[in-house]
Structure 1
Amino acid sequence: MTLPEIQSKIKSYRCCVVMPTYNNPNTLARVLDGVLEFTEDIIIVNDGSTDTTSEILKNYPQIVQLHQAKNTGKGHALKIGFKHAVNLGFNYAITLDTDGQHFPSDIPNFIEALDASENKNMLMIGDRNMNTADVLARSAKGNRVSTFWMKAATGLKLEDSQSGFRLYPIKAIDHIKFMKSTKKFEFEIEVIVKSYWAGIAIGHVPIDILYDMKERVSHFRPFMDIGRMVVLYIWFLLLRLFYITPRNFFRRLKKKGLKRFFLEDFLGNQDSPKKKALSISLGVFIGLSPLWGFHSVIVIFLAILLKLNKVIAFAFSNISFPPFIPFVLLLSLQTGNWVLGIESHYTLEGIQKNFDLMKHLESYLVGSVVLSTSSALVFGVLGYLFFSIIDRKKVLTHG
């Protein structure tokens, strides 16, 4: 696109540029001048700078300026900028750092990618090509740590999860509730994760970077900031295990109905019969194990760790769904007594009324282990045969 076309697209998409700044006097004016070549819709958040930033900004009366009395962090400054932009009627915001590492000349990359995409509900992150670019070792290390945890917490594989050069769908994310505590660099992690969970597409566009140590002032603290990110990622990982994955499972089930869900998510899944069978075995084994209250989180964690089908594993772990618990207890106790050679007098009615599990704990534990293991093997074999037959029929039908 030509420069006038880019300028026109920025206007038509109701896109602005939001830039937090804190003590970057050597590069601030150059970055602002570069952005002004494309748009005057700029919101700069002076995050409590203690240098000549306020004096520099007096030379730019055409841009919106938000001055904070104290430095609170990049995350908090972005939140303030986004909220103000939405109130002004903007739908998108491009963000870039004012320390000189980002080139405003890369702004067209984001606009062209947005224009070419059918899905306009997307968050695009500038890819700094961390593997081959001449980047600082601490930046590369921080990005590797962040990318690893991003995949663990969400399953989302990104090349660059820390780049501050981005295009945000600020109107779409305005309803997302962000944590008050994410005031620093970790907010840029939170917004990716929560946007992804909200159904917003996440993508990359290539950008160039410059690390000029004579001019650049970085406020990234490797130990503290990476530590804050890791803590946040651990929270997101637990949230994914306990809430997001089960929520998505039941949403798909409710939306599609049992028959369609079974046909599409089970039969139509592209995993091999072996992988599906192992997923069934895992679900049944955990579902019948004596791990009450932790079945869901354990089965999802293991499915992710073992790279099995999370939907199938989670579905079969519900073999001990509350209405079936008395029946599972009865089978476990009967199995345990049979293994231990104890005569059994349990009934389903007795278990449902005044049954004291602690008095029969040994039988239950032994029985549940034997029952869960044997059932997992049986269901796994049957599942493998079933899916193998289904796959053969698909080959014959489409062959």
Structure 2
Amino acid sequence: MRKMKYCVVVPVYNSETHVSDVINDVLQYTQDIIVVNDGSTDATLQVISRFVGIDVVSYSRNRGKGYAISKGLDRALTQGFTHAVTIDADGQHKACDIPKLVETASRHEEALIIGSRHFGNPFMPQGNRFANRFSNFWFRLQTGIGLPDTQTGFRLYPLIKMGKMRPFTRRYEAELELLVRAAWRNIELIPTTIDVYYPPADERISHFRKGRDFIRISLLNTALCIIALVYGYPSMFVRKLWKKFLS
């Protein structure tokens, strides 16, 4: 495999109060940053434009986090990066954990590295705990694999191994979809512990639409369970047999 070269992808939507701090924090670890402005209607684009040297992908209509991640991964791949770290723009992820993900990837270059949050954190909202348990249950049902955190957006994607694999869904459910499809392709999934900052409730930024997005996630999980039976599990079995044959 070619020498590892990574960048950081920051999908952002209406985060004018936090995105500057996030970019400055990431710049302490790499200059290779791709910010995807997902149709922000506030001053986010103006804030991003103040930074010299970072790559900005921007479009006028909000299309969802999954779409923004796809555009960021596409840009990273076309620019010759072998790996891409995704980090949220709300300031909850800490850029100081980027080297931890990169170091893990340097030992497992074809793996998808997952920033796993500490669920004993007393500041974590109860809704986050429930959502993650809910997601973990479905993920295990769809793949047979247990992971501690399937909801985190802080990840390192192996671009070469993934090829053109991108989510079909466009919003929050896209990150779960990517994990499931990576598992079906026998891409190793490695959790790495990260630290997360949870601001006071009145300072939190969330574009999650509780009713609509929960329905979308539930529909996706139902579809993935059906696909797992007819494609996912058989595909994993065949790939493992083929790998064993080649070895």
What's the TM-score, normalizing by structure 2?
0.91
1:123 aligned to 2:112?
yes
Amino acid at match of 1:170: L
Amino acid at match of 1:192: L
Q: How does 1:130-279 map to 2 (within 5 A)?
A: 130-176=119-165, 178-179=167-168, 182-212=169-199, 213-249=201-237
**Larger radius of gyration between Structure 1 and Structure 2:** 1
Q: 1:205 to 1:251 in 2, by over 3 A?
A: closer
Checking the alignment, whether the CA contact within 8 Å between 1:83 and 1:174 is kept in structure 2 is no
What's the TM-score, normalizing by structure 1?
0.57
Which of the pair is proportionally richer in helix?
1
Q: 1:256 to 1:126 in 2, by over 3 A?
A: closer
Checking the alignment, whether the CA contact within 8 Å between 2:166 and 2:178 is kept in structure 1 is no
Displacement of 1:239 in angstroms is 1.3
Deviations 1:58-97 (A, max 9, x none): 2112100011111110000000110011000111000111
Deviations 1:91-133 (A, max 9, x none): 1000111111111111111012122x2x311111111112444
SS at match of 1:124: strand
Which residue among 48, 59, 62 is the counterpart of 1:71? 62
Larger RCO: Structure 1 or Structure 2 (Cα < 8 Å, ≥ 6 residues apart)? Answer: 2
Checking the alignment, whether the CA contact within 8 Å between 1:26 and 1:216 is kept in structure 2 is no
Displacement of 1:227 in angstroms is 2.3
Which of the pair is proportionally richer in strand?
2
Q: How does 1:1-399 map to 2 (within 5 A)?
A: 13-115=4-106, 117=107, 119-176=108-165, 178-179=167-168, 182-212=169-199, 213-249=201-237
Structure 1 gap ranges (5+): 1-11, 258-399
CA distance in 2 between counterparts of 1:75 and 1:156 reads 23
Displacement of 1:232 in angstroms is 1.2
Deviations 1:208-232 (A, max 9, x none): 1112134431111233223222221
CA distance in 2 between counterparts of 1:114 and 1:59 reads 31
Task: State the identity as a percent.
Answer: 37
Checking the alignment, whether the CA contact within 8 Å between 1:24 and 1:216 is kept in structure 2 is no
Indicate the RMSD between aligned Cα atoms, in angstroms: 1.9
Deviates more, 1:84-93 or 1:232-241: 232-241
Q: 1:54 to 1:256 in 2, by over 3 A?
A: closer
Q: 1:53 to 1:156 in 2, by over 3 A?
A: same
Checking the alignment, whether the CA contact within 8 Å between 1:73 and 1:185 is kept in structure 2 is yes
Structure 2 gap ranges (5+): none
Deviations 1:276-333 (A, max 9, x none): xxxxxxxxxxxxxxxxxxxxxxxxxxxxxxxxxxxxxxxxxxxxxxxxxxxxxxxxxx
How many residue pairs align between the two structures?
242
CA distance in 2 between counterparts of 1:62 and 1:252 reads 43
Deviations 1:195-248 (A, max 9, x none): 111121001111111121344311112332232222212211111212233345
Displacement of 1:46 in angstroms is 0.6
SS at match of 1:19: strand
Displacement of 1:140 in angstroms is 1.5
Displacement of 1:251 in angstroms is 6.0
CA distance in 1 between counterparts of 2:234 and 2:22 reads 45
SS at match of 1:211: coil
